[in-house]
Amino acid sequence: MELKEPLRVIVSGGGTGGHIFPAVSIATAIKAEYPDAEILFVGAEGRMEMQRVPAAGYKIIGLPIAGFDRKNLLKNVVVLYKIAKSQWKARKIIKEFRPHVVVGVGGYASGPTLKTAGQMGIPTLIQEQNSYAGVTNKLLAKSAKKICVAYDGMERFFPAEKIIKTGNPVRQNLLDAKVTKAEATESFGLDPKKRTVLVIGGSLGARTVNESILQHIEDIRGAKDVQFIWQTGKYYSEEIHMALAKEDPVQNMKVTDFISNMDNAYAAADLVISRAGASSISELCLLKKPCILVPSPNVAEDHQTKNALALSTKGAAIFVKDSDARNELIPLALKTVVDDAQLASLSENVGKLAYHDSAKKIADEVVKLAVEQMA
């Protein structure tokens, strides 16, 4: 598509890897088509995106935004001040950068950035990752030109004429990985002849999933043909290492607070235990990985449970409630990972739900809006 001038795009949002990875993927897809495009990220001060986005090679500016405190209502006086300050700062950023389009991927910063862009007459695009839309995106949808979604039935939340089903972008290096299962397993110091369970609770960790493992250490130790790769998350790393130090070493388990080479981890895994964040689910679908999903109960509108049910009702995942996980999760994983027929069925069904080239599809919609804005 011919452009009258170099493309300028603001991408706003973050807070978790689940928002940041898609944001960076969309930016990279835009740059692949239009190398001279200028892309500016707007995030929330002190949040994960302020490190992750520059590491991916993009400039980011932080807003002093924070979420509402539902437990201590008095603290929200400060929150309201921060929202007002963030809207003022967003207006200044937009005036100076003069974007053709503003993209919101969810997270605190996307609210003031997209609201302000809409008020200034700049077209906005929302990328809603979950099967259940959050409050902020439902409000922003009123002024958005396009809404890119990953699940059916999203017209419950958004105007049907604005919806485009694109799927969720995932980290490109996962799709480009060429490592064999044996090489990947050996890279973690494990035995390529054994079945491998990968446990990921997100970059920050998942308390219930971690406690489930600690509660069943003896079951894991006794599983002769099964081994575990366990990402504890940085929040829980210290207490878990202290707990494990009191036990005899568990030879069939690799424990780490963070896995940087997720392509190897997925390649090694016969079964994945995961939270049910939208980004993780999209990766599991594209990689056709059999999985047990344990939705976090601590997220807005309980959207992880709805994400998990969207898969489990189609035979594409096994669903374990957070409240049942401590007793059920590890025995179920040990049983499932050696069941060839169930693994094959889960893999086939989860693969059917994959969306390919999501980042490029969203990038194309961004460019279409920019062309209209330039006209």
Tell me how far the alpha carbon of residue 226 is from its chain's centroid: 28
pTM of the model: 0.84
Residue 42 has φ and ψ, to the nearest 5°, of -125, 120
Q: Helix, strand or coil for residue 219?
A: helix
- Which amino acid appears at position 13 of this protein? G
Residue type, 260: S
- What is the per-residue pLDDT for 195? 97
375, with CB counted inside 10 A (0-12, 13-18, 19+), is exposed
Q: Read off the tokens for 41.
A: 């990220």
Q: Which residues of 238-265 are buried (b: 16+ CB within 10 A; e: fewer)?
A: eebeeebeeeeebebbbbebebeebbbb
Buried b (16+ CB within 10 A) or exposed e, 292-306: bbbbbeebeeebbbe
Query: What pLDDT was estimated at residue 26?
Result: 96
In whole angstroms, give the CA distance from residue 356 to residue 113: 29
Q: Coil, helix or strand for 211? A: helix
The burial class, CB within 10 Å (0-12 / 13-18 / 19+), for 217 is middle
Tokens of 186: 């050996």
Spatial contact of 366 and 101, defined as CB atoms under 8 Å apart:
yes
Nearest to residue 109, comparing CAs of 81, 89, 123, 131?
89
* Closest alpha carbon to 365 in 212, 174, 144, 42: 144
What's the sign of the alpha-carbon dihedral 68, 69, 71, 77? negative
- Given a contact cutoff of 8 angstroms between Cβ atoms, the answer to whether 129 and 278 are in contact is yes
Q: What six digits make up the tokens of 284?
A: 């599991």
pLDDT per position in the chain (375 positions), as tens?
Answer: 778 899 999 999 887 777 888 999 999 999 999 999 999 999 999 888 999 999 999 999 999 987 766 677 777 788 888 899 999 999 999 999 999 999 999 888 999 999 999 999 999 999 998 888 888 889 999 999 999 999 889 999 999 999 999 999 988 778 777 899 999 999 999 999 999 999 997 655 588 999 999 999 999 999 989 999 999 988 788 888 888 888 888 899 999 988 888 999 999 999 999 999 888 999 999 999 999 999 988 776 788 999 999 999 999 999 999 999 999 999 999 999 999 999 999 999 999 999 889 999 999 999 999 999 988
> Which residue type sits at 46?
G
Angle at CA of residue 42, ends 122 and 167, nearest 5°: 75
